[in-house]
Amino acid sequence: MAGTLTGGEPAAASGPRPVPAAVRTALYAAGVVARRLLLLAVLLAAVFAAVELLPGDAATATSERGETAADLAARRRLLGLDRPVAERFWDWMTGLPTGDLGTSARGEPVAGLLAHPFPNTLLLGGLALLVTLVVSVALGCWAAARPGGGIDRTVSASATGILALPEFVVAVALVLVFALWTDWLPAVTLTDADGSPASWRMLVLPVLALAVPQIGWNTRIVRAALADEAKAPHIETAVLDGLPRHRILTHHLLPGALPTVAAGIATSTGMLLGGAVVVETIFNYPGIGSVLAGAVTDRDSPVIAGVVAVTGAVITGVLLLADLVRAWASGGRT
């Protein structure tokens, strides 16, 4: 009935005509999310299995030296380590949808252990990602403006140089110069009563330490994507038409390079979160890096899995966003 009344438009399910774009995007996104969630579950299972394979367990790691075998057995029972790993994993997974991340080997709720550190790491990683994006796009464009020119060569060479620097080298250098020698910025991050950094100035150095190597990497990607795009016929036409250089950049070059740039930035998310472990240690930044590292030492599966779950969720989200950006940007042309 509806079909005939609306001027011959067939119902979505019955006709050969494709579903509307919004629905298609939503379905696509749902499919991607489902696949990524499955991947995350597999990853979490791998975490439990890997901790199981490490020598020692949480009971010995959190015991005091000299506890007898009976004490250790009691501790193992207390922590539920006497049950098979699959059972413990299943218990942990079934708590996950309700936000229950289990209990640490020292009896603290994992959700509580992550409550303050995780938002702090997101803040650090988010700011670093933003700085990376802005600076590398700016540098990439600047270098691409005159291919082969002095600026291009300088930017490209320094980008290669700094991308080879590990975060801890950058971090230590930043502390030395800006905190210990000049006293311009705080050397470490201290928290106040609400568990977040006591001052924005404490964020500057850790964000830079994380962003600098990623800026190196992404500047090269932006520069290369712009160079590729510049070879496209429609750009040559625009140049021949005498359009101003900045207009070509903003209206023709950048949109074309966007999918590649988005993919590059998305890969940086994982690198940033990984680098955060190192950078947080050096700056005593109150994030999940410290939680994770300690948990591995303690063979504390629920805590490790908790960290993996929340970071995995964030990375999944960012990758999804990047996919959507690419789909949208290249939608008209593929």
Interface positions with another protein (CB under 8 A): 54-56, 60-68, 71-72, 74-75, 78, 104, 106-108, 113, 116-117, 166, 168, 175, 179-180, 183, 186-188, 190-191, 193-195, 273-275, 277-278, 280-284, 286, 288-300, 303
Contact 117, 276 (CB under 8 A): no
Nearer residue to another protein within complex by CB, 253 or 276: 276
Euclidean distance between CA atoms 278 and 281, whole angstroms: 5
Residue 258 has, within 13 A of its CA and on its CB side, a CA count of 19
For residue 117, which of 265, 257, 280, 333 has the smallest C-alpha distance? 280
310/329 with CB nearer another protein: 310
Structure tokens at 156: 């490209």
- Residue 273, classed as helix, strand or coil, is helix
First to last CA, the chain: 36
Nearer of residues 169 and 325 to another protein, judged by Cβ: 169
How wide is the angle at C-alpha 154 spanned by C-alphas 151 and 155, nearest 5°? 80
Among 266, 123, 287, 136, which Cα is nearest to 212's? 136
- Kindly state the greatest CA–CA separation across the chain: 85
State which amino acid sits at residue 103: T
Strand positions, DSSP E, the chain: none
Question: Min. distance of Cβ 172 from another protein in angstroms?
Answer: 9
- Return the CA Rg of the chain: 25
- Write down the least CB distance from residue 299 to another protein, Å: 7
Residue 294's SS3 state is helix
State which residue, 124 or 295, has the beta carbon closest to another protein: 295
d(CA 141, CA 11): 47
Residue 235 vs 310, nearer CB to another protein: 310
For the bound state, the minimum distance from the C-beta of residue 307 to another protein, rounded and expressed in Å, comes to 9
Least Å distance, CB 226 to another protein, is 31
- Return the number of the residue (45 or 179) whose C-beta is nearest another protein: 179
Could you tell me the smallest distance in angstroms from the CB atom of residue 90 to another protein?
23
Q: Report how far residue 16's alpha carbon sits from residue 20's, in angstroms, rounded to the nearest whole number.
A: 12
User: By C-alpha distance, which of 225, 318, 308 is closest to 42?
Assistant: 308
SS (H, E, C) 78-107: HCCCCCCHHHHHHHHHHHHHHCCCCECCCC
CB atoms within 10 A of CB 190: 12
Min. distance of Cβ 281 from another protein in angstroms? 5
- Select 237 or 297, whichever has its Cβ closest to another protein: 297
Q: How far is the CB of 115 from another protein (least distance, A)?
A: 8
Q: How far is the CB of 284 from another protein (least distance, A)?
A: 4
Residue number with CB closer to another protein (92 or 283): 283
Output 225 or 295, the one with its CB closest to another protein: 295
Residue 99 C-beta: closest distance to another protein, Å:
19
